[in-house]
Structure 1
């Protein structure tokens, strides 16, 4: 599932899927996003968005 599909879930279902509340997910996303903006991008661009990468990590 992608983040676009998951973000419309009820908070209880969101937590059941990835283990954190949507508010916590957004806080984690801001923490991950801040250093990634400063990095210089090299190589092939990622097909996954940062939201999808975080969601995949939490689901694993």
Structure 2
């Protein structure tokens, strides 16, 4: 389900994408690139992330845009609310 949500959002036109996330697709791509670079520099220890970097970014933008609760975001994304919490 999470991948469908990401795919569906990425397929939106520029105006719809901005309305949904609060940023333009180009900005999202730049943000994702920075996060991927940072993720690549991190030591890999412990449990792998439940969501991809792009999914985490989209969920964060949804949180900032809509001020939804962690419980609601976790339910929509199929993860526990403690996974959503920073």
Q: TM-score, normalised by structure 2?
A: 0.64
**Structure-2 separation of matches of 1:31 and 1:49:** 14
Structure 1 runs not aligned, ≥5 long: none
- 1:48 & 1:10 partners in 2: Cα distance? 24
Q: Which has the higher helix share?
A: 2
Consecutive unaligned residues in structure 2, runs of 5 or more = 64-86
- Which residue number in structure 1 is paired with residue 45 of structure 2? 42
Number of aligned residue pairs = 60
Distance in 1 of aligned mates of 2:8 and 2:44 = 27
Find the structure with the greater CA-based Rg: 2
CA RMSD of aligned residues (A): 1.2
TM-score normalised according to structure 1 size: 0.88
Q: Deviation above 4 Å: which 4+ runs of structure 1?
A: none
Deviations 1:1-32 (A, max 9, x none): 63212111111111111100000100111111
